[in-house]
Amino acid sequence: MFVEGRIIQMLLMILTIVAIYFYTDAVKKGREVTIRPIPALDAIEEAVGRASETGRPVHFTPGYTLGGLYNPTMGPGVMAGITILSKVAEVTARLGTGIIVSLAQAEAVPLVEETLKVAYRAQNLEVPANAVRFISTEQYAYAAGILSILLEERPGANILMGYFWSESLQFAEGGSYVGAMQIGGTCSPSQIPFFVASCDYCLIGEELFAAKGYIDRDPASLGSLLASDILRSILIGIVIVSFLAFNLNIGLIIDLLRM
Amino acid sequence: MSNILKREVPLGLATVIIALLFFDYYVFTDITRNIALSIADWAIIITATAAGVGVLNMIIRTYQNISKRAEYWYLDIYMLVVMVVMAGTGLIGAYGTHPVFEWIMMNAYLPIDASIYAMVFFDIVSSYYRTFRVRSRDSAILFICAFIIMLKNAPLTGGMLPSFIPIGDWMLNIPSTAGSRAFIIVASIGVVAFTIRTMLQTERTTVGVVD
């Protein structure tokens, strides 16, 4: 009945679900969680402030995914980017700065519109006209569209948070060309070096998913961060045990890990 | 009522569907397998319907732009013509076999796509020029590693200084692979946690709710 080779994975998944549930509950009941400082998230206020001072808009994009938001590995990265957009929109609404959100996923348009609406309504404002722009689901049409926005609108801040492919460097260089302060962040391993090279601040990997907990102190995000730490420790343990078991040829452990 | 329809129903559906798909991945039963396959079919149907609605919406908005002579209205005409030609020729016979469709793909779409991709390399050069300034110990390590990899890969230096090839290979295969695997594991844990939060209905951004 159980699929062979996936039993250990299943146990780890169940453990993670229980841990997230348990820690979310603990945070709600007042457990203190300390997160190390993440400069890229602290810099959002500064970037939007700078754009506001120069009278230029803020540009935000959550990146490109193959097959839209449904892609199991890339979709969550884009969704995590949209959670950061809520913070960006809150600051732009407060400072009266223009905002442009460019998208490559048609299905993300209503989510982003709703996110902006909530942030602007909190300041009794309407979302600026033409703030949300769906460009294209084609990678380079999307890239060309954003480059055109960067050159025409000349944003004061260029915030790139989500999942990116090779277009990442084009956006970051385009932003640098128009003199925008840039904050990048992605969970795509191949694009991290490009953001580190081109942006003023950079979120790396899991920091993107930790952002919501860091910004809002949201109990669910903080709880899942604590659970992720446990899962990470277990995985490090499994890597060490597997290394020893395979090199010392300990059959029992090898069979157990292959379950 | 609208809140329930807009937020609670999608979240409830997400919980049931994620739980079912998790179950199907780990436990094999005919019932869950059939349900999982049906869900995959539904996803395709919903996506296709949404794409159809999107095209209709775009035609209406484009028509409005043209009739109001909005900014760049002539580009809207161009877009409409291209869309009708591509959709029309794409629908005739087997997909992508119509000569007009093929001609546009080979002589317009692919060269434009390749040109934009090629621009990445100019950006890489400009970005590296700004990055490789040795200002700290970390940037010095980065610079040395990048320099060795460059010597290994460049045809001229690779041929003249073959001793850099094994060093470069070692750097790519051992420390770089170990680092990327660690990165992939950690990022994947974030993805798993995000999915579980959606399943437990504590991640509400997926339905546009910012708590």
What is the tens place of the pLDDT at every residue in B112-129?
A: 888 888 887 787 777 777
Chain B residues whose beta carbon lies within 8 Å of the beta carbon of residue A175: none
How many domains is chain A partitioned into structurally? 2
Q: Indicate whether B57 belongs to any domain.
A: yes
Task: Please determine, for residue B209, whether its predicted confidence score (pLDDT) is greater than 80.
Answer: no
How many domains is chain B partitioned into structurally? 2
The percentage of chain A sitting over the pLDDT mark of 70, rounded to a whole number, equals 100
Distance from CA of A145 to the nearest CA of B (A): 11
Residue ranges making up the domain that contains A184 = 39-216
Q: Indicate whether A44 belongs to any domain.
A: yes
Q: How far apart are alpha carbons A63 and B173 in whole angstroms?
A: 29
Residue ranges making up the domain that contains B173 = 133-202
Which of B55, B70, B85 represents a domain boundary (last residue)?
B70
Which of B45, B70, B95 represents a domain boundary (last residue)?
B70
Q: Indicate whether B113 belongs to any domain.
A: no
Chain A residues whose beta carbon lies within 8 Å of the beta carbon of residue B196: 16-17, 20, 224
pLDDT of residue B131: 67
Q: Write the CA distances from A60 to A244, A246, B32, B187, B190, integer angstroms.
A: 46, 47, 40, 22, 22
A129 in contact with B, Cβ within 8 Å: no
pLDDT band at B206 (very low <50, low <70, confident <90, very high): low
Q: Indicate whether A201 belongs to any domain.
A: yes
Q: Looking at the structure, do residues A207 and A239 belong to the same domain, yes or no?
A: no
Phi/psi class of residue A237: alpha, beta or left (left: φ > 0; alpha: ψ in -120 to 50)?
Answer: alpha
pLDDT of residue A20: 92
CA end-to-end span of chain B = 19
DSSP string, B70-136: -TTHHHHHHHHHHHHHHHHHHHSSSTT-SHHHHHHIIIIIHHHHHHHHHHHHHHHHHHHHHH----S
CATH number of the domain where residue A202 is located: 3.40.50
Q: Looking at the structure, do residues A223 and A122 belong to the same domain, yes or no?
A: no
Q: Indicate whether B187 belongs to any domain.
A: yes
pLDDT band at B208 (very low <50, low <70, confident <90, very high): low
Q: Looking at the structure, do residues A109 and A226 belong to the same domain, yes or no?
A: no
Q: Write the CA distances from A157 to A52, A147, A204, B91, B190, integer angstroms.
A: 9, 14, 19, 43, 26
Is this complex scored with an ipTM above 0.95?
no
Q: Looking at the structure, do residues A74 and A185 belong to the same domain, yes or no?
A: yes
Q: Looking at the structure, do residues A115 and A185 belong to the same domain, yes or no?
A: yes
Distance from CA of A136 to the nearest CA of B (A): 12
Q: Looking at the structure, do residues A123 and A178 belong to the same domain, yes or no?
A: yes
Q: Looking at the structure, do residues A153 and A198 belong to the same domain, yes or no?
A: yes
Average pLDDT, integer, range A86-109: 93
Most A-contacting residue of B11, B62, B145, B205 (CB-CB within 10 A), to test interface: B205
For chain A, how many residues are written? 259
Q: Looking at the structure, do residues A120 and A26 belong to the same domain, yes or no?
A: no
Q: Indicate whether B191 belongs to any domain.
A: yes
Asked if the Cβ–Cβ distance from B191 to A187 is below 8 Å, we say yes
pLDDT of residue A237: 93
- What residue of B is the nearest CA neighbor of A147? B116
Q: Indicate whether B55 belongs to any domain.
A: yes
Asked if the Cβ–Cβ distance from B196 to A189 is below 8 Å, we say no
Over residues B160-197, the pLDDT tens digits come to: 888 888 998 999 999 989 988 888 888 888 888 888 88
Q: Indicate whether A1 belongs to any domain.
A: no
Asked if the Cβ–Cβ distance from B119 to A170 is below 8 Å, we say yes
Q: Looking at the structure, do residues A119 and A199 belong to the same domain, yes or no?
A: yes
Q: Looking at the structure, do residues A56 and A145 belong to the same domain, yes or no?
A: yes
For residue B55, give both structure tokens: 């095209």
Over residues A35-88, the pLDDT tens digits come to: 889 999 999 999 999 999 999 999 999 999 987 787 878 888 998 899 899 899
Q: Indicate whether B148 belongs to any domain.
A: yes
- What residue of B is the nearest CA neighbor of A176? B127
Most B-contacting residue of A212, A216, A225 (CB-CB within 10 A), to test interface: A212
B109 touches A141 (CB < 8 A): no
Mean pLDDT of chain B: 85
Q: How far apart are alpha carbons B78 and B73 in whole angstroms?
A: 9
Amino acid identity of A105? Q
Q: Choose the weakest-confidence range: A191-205, B82-96, B135-149.
A: B135-149
Q: Looking at the structure, do residues A84 and A16 belong to the same domain, yes or no?
A: no
Instruction: Please state the pTM of the whole predicted model.
Output: 0.85
Distance from CA of B123 to the nearest CA of A (A): 6
Task: Please determine, for residue B1, whether its predicted confidence score (pLDDT) is greater than 60.
Answer: no
Q: Indicate whether B105 belongs to any domain.
A: no
Q: Indicate whether B169 belongs to any domain.
A: yes
Residue ranges of A 5-44 with Cβ closer than 8 A to chain B:
6-7, 9-10, 13, 16-17, 20-21, 24
pLDDT band at B211 (very low <50, low <70, confident <90, very high): low
Distance from CA of B156 to the nearest CA of A (A): 25
Distance from CA of A86 to the nearest CA of B (A): 7
Q: Looking at the structure, do residues A167 and A134 belong to the same domain, yes or no?
A: yes
Q: Indicate whether A2 belongs to any domain.
A: no
- Higher pLDDT residue, B175 or B134? B175
A259 in contact with B, Cβ within 8 Å: no
Question: If DSSP codes are grouped into helix, strand and coil, which group holds residue B193?
Answer: helix
Over residues B28-76, the pLDDT tens digits come to: 889 989 999 999 899 889 888 888 888 888 899 899 999 999 888 999 9
